[in-house]
Amino acid sequence: MFTEDPSPLLNQPATEPEVSHEQNQLESIPQPTHNPQADAWFGFLKAVIAWVGSVVSLLIVPLIVIVPYFAYLMTTSGPPTAEGLTQNKTFILLSIIGIIPAHLLTLLLAWALVSRWGKEPFWKRLNFSWPPSIAPWAGFAVCFVIAIVLLGIGLLVTSVLGGGKTDLDKLIESSFQARIATAFVAVVTAPLVEEIIYRGMLYPAIQRITGMTWAVVIVSLMFAGVHVLQYRNNIGVILVITILSVTLTSIRAYTDRLLPTFIVHLIFNGLQSLYLVLQPFIEKPEKVEPAPALAQLCHLLRHLF
């Protein structure tokens, strides 16, 4: 009895699916190859742009903030002298306040370069988090201890080496408002902006090209080097800045995270700012000079700019 196969197609050999002419053309086009070296240099270029932008902003933006007051002085009392400006409390206060928009502009530039104008997660790209092997409370405790040790080292160094008053000392001592403005910058904007530029962008970019050791050295010297000219008459402060920079950059290299360096920097600045604000109330009414070791503590604020 003859029966018809209900599924004759199962007995036929499998055939390859037809490939369209367009697919053949796409396969014939050479695909772009990933070039890690080119990516490393492109990341380095972006980091340098951010760093140059931060320096230029600190030079130009405070001047722009001062211009309206300078014009006011010109119309009311004639062209002011350089000596008069250095003793003008309002002029000094505005020059400090001008650092805030400069930092904000730097932060915007860094965000644009790192996130590609919001196309990628900014904080994740910066590794702005705790290392996975440590709890946040433990990480904060370690950062607090490191900041205290750095302050102690700074106090010892500046006490031994001494040094003359810097330009920032004169700005701070010009008025209590200048102290408040400086403390605000030290706590609210400086730690975040400086860590993003130096340890968040420059360090990983340089590390991909030179390796960890040279990246730590280069970034540490860059951070300290921008302060040398301004504080050239106080070698103790410059040395403290260098120690701080090496420590922060080493933490970034060891943990591969940015948040710990930011916390250390924040505590370091915060404790100094607290002293800076309270110093006029701590000193006696007769304005007796405090002990040399205590007086040198305020010098540690130099790394802000």
Looking at the chain, the whole-number percentage of residues with pLDDT higher than 70 is 81
Within a domain: residue 27? Answer: no
* 275-291 residues labelled b (16+ CB within 10 A) or e (exposed): bbeebeeeeeeeeeeee
Q: Is the pLDDT of residue 86 over 90?
A: no
Q: Does any domain span residue 23?
A: no
**Are 208 and 133 within 8 A, CB to CB?**
no
Which letter does DSSP use for residue 29 in this model?
A: S
pLDDT of 285 higher than 70: no
Give the pLDDT confidence score for residue 34 in this predicted structure: 64
Q: Which residue has the higher pLDDT, 42 or 297?
A: 42
DSSP letters of 79-104?
Answer: SPPHHHHHT-HHHHHHHHHTHHHHHH
Tokens 């990983």 appear where? 204
| Confidence at residue 207, expressed as pLDDT on a 0 to 100 scale | 97
For residue 247, is it within any domain? yes
pLDDT for res 284: 55
For the chain, how many structural domains are there in total?
A: 1
Q: The domain containing residue 72 runs over which residues?
A: 38-304
Token output for 138: 């433990």
Q: For 211-239, what is each residue's pLDDT tens digit?
A: 999 999 999 999 998 877 777 778 888 89
The answer as to whether 4 is a domain residue is: no
In a domain, 215, yes or no: yes
Q: What is the CA radius of gyration of the chain?
A: 28
pTM as predicted: 0.82
pLDDT in tens, 52-70: 999 999 999 999 999 999 9
pLDDT value at 290 more than 80: no
In the predicted model, is pLDDT for residue 75 greater than 70? yes
Asked if residue 1 is part of any domain, the answer here is no
pLDDT of residue 7: 47
